[in-house]
Chains A and B, each alone.
Chain A
Amino acid sequence: MTRRTIGIVDYGVGNHASVLRAFQSLGYRCRVSRDPSVLAECDVLVLPGVGAYPTAMSALTACELVGFLQERARGGQPIIGLCLGMQLLADVSHEHGVTAGLGLIPGEVVPLTTVPWHIGWNTIEVVNGDDLLAPSDQQSVYFNHSYVFRAPEEYQVCVSRLDRSFTVGVRRGKVVGLQFHPEKSQSVGRVMLRNLVEGLTRA
């Protein structure tokens, strides 16, 4: 089996260490970089992120990565966005005002409606028959967020429930976004990451 290379996008926001260790523990070669020439050579790009949306988009812009990520997505390079990194895939966010996102998956980032935040371990339900996430259906993963990605149904791949269901996974071709933290979801999360990498890189 070919040893895949994971490019972890380092734009100065969030915790790369946990993401890096998670992929390394699965046996993948990892590059943590903001250099487009390095990232373009990787099999899969991972966009992590913790914190506020405007700060993160400003950082991506400052690192001159916005156009690069849009171009790589159009070219078919697999991209996985995690937590805030998932929200950055959207068209726009309403966190602390209106901020344009990467626009890789249609939708907008809005506050949770019935609760102020979603913290802890919750079950995910895989929808629309997504083949890569199907093995993770009904598994518990770790969440820590207060905004959600509101996407058209055709782009939803998994949902979770509090008093109502909301989108926690989106996908458009080879671009996948996960609202939760698979890298902090123990064995369940690692299995999911391996399935995603192997599935997205399959010819």
Chain B
Amino acid sequence: MLKKRLIGVVTVRQGWAVQSFGYRRYLPLGKPEVVVENLDRWGADEILISCIDRSETGQGPDFKLLERIAALGLSTPVIYAGGVRNGADAVQAVNLGADRIQVDAMLWDLPAELELLSRELGNQALIAHLPVSIRDGALYWRNYRNGEECLLDHAALSRMYLEWVSEVMLTDWVHEGTPGAFDEAIPKLFPLEEKPLLLFGGLSASAQLQRVLSLNNVVAAGVGNFLHYKEHAIQQIKRNLVGVPMRAAHYASEER
């Protein structure tokens, strides 16, 4: 049976792993590769490396970071996000060790490029990232580079070429970094019911993770800051997700 996934999210800004609070305030955690290595050892189902300033500054993907991470020899699937401008960027990121690519700015700037990415890598390797918030009972999509927001309705979604991606990550950017604050109405308001969703932003408590992961169209949840507050957080969360089809908690001591 296909399992639901717990994704360890590593937010990278100016080359450093950071704890983010609503993408407004940041606290440094250290070298991204150290944080990523921990998540690998702790048995995350996937690791998302999200370089949040690469598109904003026009730097393109952080290939040097991917090279350093590849050298770690991770045994956990990696999703890379940040600065991907075209198919060549995406292919290079995969060749450097990313298993999947997440795009955000491209959905605003050049969504038709997604078809080219799909022809290179396949839809299964592509994830669309939508930072969203709820206002007056409606879902709004945010361009994180300039703060512009637009109503996330079928018309907006039709301009994104989402038929070329396999999954959509919805990030509650307002509550990101605030424990247990994820707005659970977000997945229910998303108009494309058939699209598998990944959720992120303010998800920390097992009870809340259990509720959102129980939704049919939610296939994974991302947890960021909260994994760094205590050891074995991934294992503890997994143990508490009763009734959710998850891979069992992994312990390094069990390795044969």
Contact = CB atoms under 8 A, between A and B. Distances in A.
A140 B73 contact: no
Contact of A187 (B123, B220, B250): B250
A152 to B, nearest CB: 26
A129 interface: no
A145 B123 CA distance: 9
Given A117-B124, A119-B167, A15 B220 contact: no
A190 B91 CA distance: 26
Interface stretch (B15-23, B114-122, B154-162, B178-186): B114-122
B3 A121 contact: yes
Looking at chain A, what size class is its interface with the partner chain? 35 or more
Contacts of A18: 70, 73-74, 97, 99
A14 B247 CA distance: 26
Interface string A2-29: 0000000000001111100110110000
Contact of A146 (B76, B91, B122, B256): B122
A184 B94 CA distance: 14
Interface in B50-86: 70-77
B75 A122 contact: no
Given A15-B99, A121-B45, A122-B2, A25 B254 contact: no
A17 B74 CA distance: 10
B240 interface: no
Interface in B1-52: 1-5, 43, 45
Given A117-B166, A121-B247, A140 B3 contact: yes
Given A142-B77, A187-B75, A121 B122 contact: no
A116 interface: yes
Given A121-B5, A186-B43, A55 B75 contact: no
A183 B99 CA distance: 11
Interface residues of B, number: 40
Given A14-B94, A96-B119, A186-B76, A191 B124 contact: no
A67 interface: no
A171 interface: no
Contact of A122 (B1, B91, B119, B121): B1
A24 B95 CA distance: 18
Interface string B117-155: 001111111000000000000000000000000000000
Given A161-B1, A189-B75, A51 B45 contact: no
A99 interface: no
A122 B166 contact: no
Contacts of B121: 50-52
Interface of B: 1-5, 43, 45, 70-77, 91, 94-100, 119-125, 166-167, 196, 219-220, 247, 250, 254-256
Closest 4 CB pairs of A and B: A21-B73, A17-B70, A187-B255, A117-B124
Interface of A: 14-18, 21-22, 24-25, 50-52, 55, 96, 116-123, 140, 142, 144-146, 161-162, 181, 183-187, 189-191
